[in-house]
Amino acid sequence: MPSQKRKAKIAVTATPSQPRQAPLLLCGDIPNAFQQAAEWGCQGVEIHLRRAEDLAPQAVKRLVKEYGLKVPTLGTGMAAADGLSLSHPLPDIRALSVERVRGHIEFAAEIGSAVTVGVLSGKLGDCEAAERRTRRLHALESLTELCQRARRLGVTVFLEPLNRYECDYINRLADVAAIAAEIGAPNLKLLADTFHMNIEEADLAASLKAAGPILGHVHLSDTNRQAPGHGHLDIVGVLAALDEIGYEGYLSFEVFPVPNARAATRDGIAAVRAATRRMARKSNASPAAPTLRARAPRSQGL
């Protein structure tokens, strides 16, 4: 029976950059992002960096201590804007991509977070089957190198399956489990993003249950890439599946700030609470109450 004391940990997404369009809630001012996250009742800030040099690890450690929040993972996908990809056909580009993410890994080791590889997985492209196998091999060699470096530093790597329009070889949760086994990387875990899952998975709940212990992080995004509750995602089904497998990680809102970051976070937290209340009503006749509950905000700012 799962512990009835386990509660959902909510994280907002933030970046020190000013991307033109990205599903990130807070952009530009990282100290403000931590302050807002704490006021809104969140437990973490997921930071996305184009380059590790864009932010100082010591500054992040001070913010973590000041606001009592965690950084569950560092996103690396913004580096794709520089033409980087782990599956690029040119070895020099792959080497530059690995070197870029090594910076994120070293940053993560200092602040105690994981590192996400998603968009940087890239695409194998429209080529002959033999060439696709070669490109996939090279991509996994690059990923292996990153995992080995991360393992030496005590860092977990989250591999995120993307929908078919953004990646053409890592699309489903089961793909990550297969890759982790193939390359033999014990520190490679799964990041499940419900936006991508809605496109690629026939049954979201079943896929999450099958992932089990390899699941390390969740992007809880609705079907339109907005906050949970803004689309038609079966939030109850997702949370019930996470509860069943004993998931204790974060629910991170990698979403567009629609209508704004504050309202999107408020709506997402409200949707999680509403879902957990529905779970509780359904389980009233059972001695095992649902355990994923959004924590109450620290203030009434929402």
The residues carrying an active-site annotation are 160, 254
Would residue 268 be called left, alpha or beta, if left means φ above 0 and alpha means ψ between -120 and 50 degrees?
alpha
Tokens (6 digits) for 55: 């932010």
* Residue 5: Cβ-neighbour burial (10 angstroms; 0-12, 13-18, 19+): exposed
Would you give the DSSP letter of residue 56? -
- Can you read off the two tokens belonging to residue 61? 């450690």
Angle of helix 30-39 versus helix 57-67 axis, rounded to 10: 20
Kindly report the CA angle at 255 between 251 and 259, in degrees rounded to 5?
125
Distances (CA, A) of 115 to 38, 46, 207: 22, 10, 22
DSSP 159: E
Instruction: In whole angstroms, give the CA distance from residue 60 to residue 71.
Output: 9
Rounded to an integer, what distance in angstroms lies between the CA atom of residue 84 and that of residue 100? 9
User: Rounded to a whole number, what is the distance in angstroms from the first to the last CA of the chain?
Assistant: 34
Nearest residue to 72 via CA among 42, 39, 31: 42
Length reported for the chain: 302
What's the rounded Cα separation, in Å, for the pair 233 and 220? 9
Tell which residue, 145, 191, 150, 185, has the closest CA to residue 172.
191
> How far is Cα 292 from Cα 269, in angstroms, rounded to an integer?
12
